[in-house]
Structure 1
Amino acid sequence: MMRKTSLILLSAATGAALTLFVTQPRSVMMGSIARAATSDTYRQLNLFGDVFERVRSDYVEKPDDSKLVESAISGMLSGLDPHSSYMDAKSFRDMQVQTRGEFGGLGIEVTMEDGLIKVVSPIDDTPASKAGILANDIITMLDDEQVQGLTLNQAVERMRGPVNTKIRLKVLRKGADNPMDITLVRDNIRVRSVRARVEDDDIAYIRITTFNEQTTEGLKKEIANLQNQLGDKLKGYIIDLRNNPGGLLEEAVTVSDAFLERGEIVSTRGRNAEETQRRSARPGDLTKGKQVIVLINGGSASASEIVAGALQDHKRATLIGTRSFGKGSVQTIIPLGAGNGALRLTTARYYTPSGKSIQAKGIVPDIEVLQDVPDELKARTDTKGEASLRGHLTNGSDEKTGSQSYVPPDPKNDKALKMADDLLHGVKVNASAPASASDDKSTTDKASVEKQPATKEAN
């Protein structure tokens, strides 16, 4: 359309030129343009070939051809935007494990301390918990290999493996006289992306840490458990999305749908108009119209922002906290064949139900609550946001950077959580906090997309 407009405008100055373009067959005109573009592309590829051969022949040490090609691909993709990248075969496998939320392993959350592996906590009903592994245990050896000298990722990779295979750990425990040798059999482990508890005896608190393939089912399970536990006492829900970096687009849609009866959840728009997809809610609010409050902060990104934006636009939830990260783009994972890894390519922007792009702007909460941050942590608790990333997709002149992302480790000091509690108990009243879903003023109700898009992630 833009090309036709340019030609029409050109006619105001040169009518003869217009006649030439209009009378020339479209196929011939487009063929000429395509040939010119192709010719230019081949010249650039020849340049790449020349550089590649020069490096192979003249570099001071013999380079690995495959690594040269991988580096070239990585450079091409990283030059597009901060979220497009090349994944080699191992990185692709790791990404698949992360998004599935399921793998063969031991069932322990670990960290690195003084070069050794420290157990943060064992996961319930896993080989680690059944074998008696405890929080703060120190793992010094994996089979016959010293942990000292391994990175955290390398150690985790060695602890994972096929189901029903064995691994021997040497474990130091405070108070024990000697190290313990513990043999574990790997089992199928599911990452718990959803955790819940009862807050103040009558509020359902649900924390979502990531959006993997297990998230929606985990949410449904926790909602049902909390409803059975609280019964008629249940006053409402607090959904904590703080410092949730995102994940799968499909999971963001289904999580949003759990709280909505109708209306658009998100639209994704690619380079071409025909690529636009709209996703809408289906009838069935799992929370039965109870009041919902969503906690967000500077670390809430991508899929988290889709959920927060949908519930805010439909006035289904009150958002409390600080402005979110501002990642408003969608990446498609494109496998490159066996052993060749995959591309993570930015293919669309997403828009909230009101048609707003939050790219490089973030979502502004209905009620801003700043936490009291210890002085020693102040320099490390603000997230710079999407707008600070080099090469980010731009979005007008009102882009925003920087937002607080600190969450106090003790819930008693959590001011955003306290505000949510007070609103649900009626201790505080705010116009942004409707009493229930019946106060939803949204009229957006677009048809659900029947044809599903390719596997995508909004992470």
Structure 2
Amino acid sequence: MIRRATLLLAGVVIGASATGILISADIPARAASDDTTYHEMSLFGDVFERVRSQYVSPPDEKKMIQDAINGMLNGLDPHSSYMTAEESTEMRDQSKGEFGGLGIEVTMEDDVVKVVAPIDDTPASNAGVLTGDKIIEIDGESVRGMTLNDAVDRMRGEVGEPIDITILRDGVTKPIEMTIVRGIIPVQSVKWRVENDNIGYIRLTTFMNEKLDDSLNEAIEEIKKEVPEDQLKGYILDLRLNPGGFLNQAVAVADTFLDEGEVVSTRGRNAEETRRFNAGPGDLTDGKPLIVLVNGGSASASEIVAGALHDLKRATLVGTRTFGKGSVQTIVPLGEDGSLRLTTALYYTPSGTSIQGTGIEPDIIVEQKLPEDLEGLIRPEGESTLRGHIQGDKETDEGSGSVAYVPRDIEDDLQLKYAIDLMEGTEKNDAYPADPAKAVEKLQAAKKADEAKAEPEKAN
């Protein structure tokens, strides 16, 4: 059985753990500007004309405009940017199945490309690229001066073609040079297996797949076929190192484990822009105990799912603090000129909490030990460490994020082993199993407080 909540058409974003919610048909007309704005626009026109006519060599005027737009958007926050028509097409293709490249989620920081997370079983992951690595050269060319989209475009390419990258890594004194052969990067978003003959384990690697909810439903059905209902102790949903993707798929995933309740709300500049997404009836896991694994690599759409299942007391969260990206990007098509990726809202968990710059702290904190050769090389990363990020209304000096690392060998995976022990009963904790009945009173109080806060805004 496949259920779908009522959702908006969502746009995927290929930046660092970014979530889009809406593909807009056009850009609304600009409101009347004051004299200062007109003066600044006139200044831009004067500078453009001076460069076009007097620069030492004829410049690429189209690229000048694109760079100017990117500069304007990049100055807003790390997740807003402009995409050319080619980049927009690549983004759509990626969301439908596979692409040729290295297999890394990246962002731009201090004029270099920073690795948010390598994707499992891809050329980058197999070559040893780590979360937090900073790519400073691509095929011998410095990335300084490139936009994020430029860098991503250079790293993608024909399958089987090699690419040379140079990275800086904390704790390593010299730059590291790697030659990686591009491969097919499948958007294999769901992996599953049965642990101990009685626990369903499901890992979601990305939300950048339009059919993620279908694949999740198939995984659950396969687990049910393999394990008799009376022997199935529960499910472990692994969202570690999952950088996000489509909002509609995040809502659908949370809805899979819920019978009712608000999954997430998004709030923009104006009160009338608030949107709420609710779960429909029919928990496909039949109310079985649920544990969600998270770490510093769990971002955006992953945090929407974790936040909903946590606030509604449907699941127990195990691991370390999440990345803390609580902003929403809208994809605005610009016809033949590409598309605009613009931060238009913040999202809030069912309790009315914004996780922007703070992340979500698990019910049970289980630190993952790093192997000796990686100690000091992988450090806590989060939205709060990104330069120019939007300041969260509850952000503190503690910030967001944590170490983003998952061992390849299950025997070394302390967080997964703890979750299994909880379900087997060899570990005990008051937070497990989660009790949805306990969420009602807390959520009602949060809703009243939210409504009370909104009243003065309406009065103004």
Q: Same fold (TM over 0.5)?
A: yes
Cα deviations by residue, 1:280-331 (Å, 9 ceiling, x for unpaired): 1111001000000000000100000000000000111011111000000000
CA contact (8 A) 2:88 2:338 kept: yes
SS in 1 for 2:158: helix
CA separation of 1:316 and 1:273: change in aligned 2, threshold 3 A: same
Q: Distance in 2 between matches of 1:344 and 1:191?
A: 21
SS in 1 for 2:265: strand
1:158 paired with 2:158, answer: yes
Partner in structure 2 of residue 308 of structure 1: 306
Partner in structure 2 of residue 405 of structure 1: 404
Count of residues paired in the alignment: 351
CA contact (8 A) 1:109 1:121 kept: no
SS in 2 for 1:158: coil
- Which residue identity does 1:404 align to in structure 2? V
CA contact (8 A) 2:93 2:99 kept: no
Deviation at 1:155, TM superposition (A): 8.3
- Which residue identity does 1:333 align to in structure 2? I
Give the unaligned 5+ runs of structure 1: 1-33, 112-119, 123-134, 137-147, 160-168, 171-186, 447-459
Partner in structure 1 of residue 293 of structure 2: 295
1:70 paired with 2:70, answer: no
SS in 1 for 2:224: helix
CA separation of 1:155 and 1:275: change in aligned 2, threshold 3 A: closer
Cα deviations by residue, 1:251-283 (Å, 9 ceiling, x for unpaired): 000100001111110000000000000111111
1:371 paired with 2:383, answer: no
Partner in structure 1 of residue 358 of structure 2: 361
CA separation of 1:335 and 1:82: change in aligned 2, threshold 3 A: same
1:352 paired with 2:349, answer: yes
CA contact (8 A) 2:84 2:339 kept: yes
Partner in structure 1 of residue 148 of structure 2: none
CA contact (8 A) 2:321 2:400 kept: no
Partner in structure 1 of residue 323 of structure 2: 325
Partner in structure 2 of residue 174 of structure 1: none
Partner in structure 1 of residue 415 of structure 2: 416
Deviation at 1:60, TM superposition (A): 2.1
Partner in structure 1 of residue 271 of structure 2: 273
- Which residue identity does 1:291 align to in structure 2? P
- Which residue identity does 2:63 align to in structure 1? K
2:282 to 284, 291, 299: 284
Q: Distance in 2 between matches of 1:84 and 1:364?
A: 26
Q: Distance in 2 between matches of 1:229 and 1:209?
A: 23
Deviation at 1:434, TM superposition (A): 1.8
Give the TM-score normalised by structure 1.
0.71
SS in 2 for 1:300: coil
Cα deviations by residue, 1:3-38 (Å, 9 ceiling, x for unpaired): xxxxxxxxxxxxxxxxxxxxxxxxxxxxxxx76x34
CA contact (8 A) 2:199 2:234 kept: yes
1:227 paired with 2:224, answer: yes
- Which residue identity does 2:35 align to in structure 1? S
Deviation at 1:40, TM superposition (A): 2.4
Cα deviations by residue, 1:238-261 (Å, 9 ceiling, x for unpaired): 000001000001100010000111
Give the stretch that moved more between structures: 401-410 or 416-425. 401-410
Q: Distance in 1 between matches of 2:38 and 2:373?
A: 55
CA separation of 1:229 and 1:263: change in aligned 2, threshold 3 A: same
Q: Distance in 2 between matches of 1:190 and 1:409?
A: 19
Cα deviations by residue, 1:165-202 (Å, 9 ceiling, x for unpaired): xxxx89xxxxxxxxxxxxxxxx9x97320010111111
- Which residue identity does 2:382 align to in structure 1? G
Give matches, 1:44-443, under 5 Å.
44-100=40-96, 102-103=97-98, 157-159=157-159, 191-211=187-207, 212-232=209-229, 233-338=231-336, 340-396=337-393, 397-399=395-397, 400-434=399-433, 441-442=439-440
Structure showing greater radius of gyration is 1
CA RMSD of aligned residues (A): 3.0
1:39 paired with 2:35, answer: yes
Q: Distance in 2 between matches of 1:320 and 1:291?
A: 13
CA contact (8 A) 2:263 2:278 kept: yes
Q: Distance in 1 between matches of 2:72 and 2:258?
A: 41
- Which residue identity does 1:91 align to in structure 2? E
CA separation of 1:279 and 1:56: change in aligned 2, threshold 3 A: same
Q: Distance in 2 between matches of 1:312 and 1:40?
A: 47
SS in 1 for 2:375: helix
Q: Distance in 1 between matches of 2:406 and 2:310?
A: 22
Cα deviations by residue, 1:400-440 (Å, 9 ceiling, x for unpaired): 145111111101111100110011011111111126x6655
SS in 1 for 2:203: strand
Runs (4 or more) in structure 1 with deviation over 3 Å come to 108-111, 148-157, 437-441, 443-446
Q: Distance in 2 between matches of 1:300 and 1:318?
A: 15
CA separation of 1:246 and 1:49: change in aligned 2, threshold 3 A: same
SS in 2 for 1:224: helix
Larger RCO: 1 or 2 (CA < 8 Å, sep 6+): 2
Q: Distance in 2 between matches of 1:402 and 1:305?
A: 11
Q: Distance in 1 between matches of 2:436 and 2:400?
A: 35
Q: Distance in 2 between matches of 1:375 and 1:357?
A: 36
Q: Distance in 1 between matches of 2:102 and 2:78?
A: 29
Deviation at 1:64, TM superposition (A): 0.2
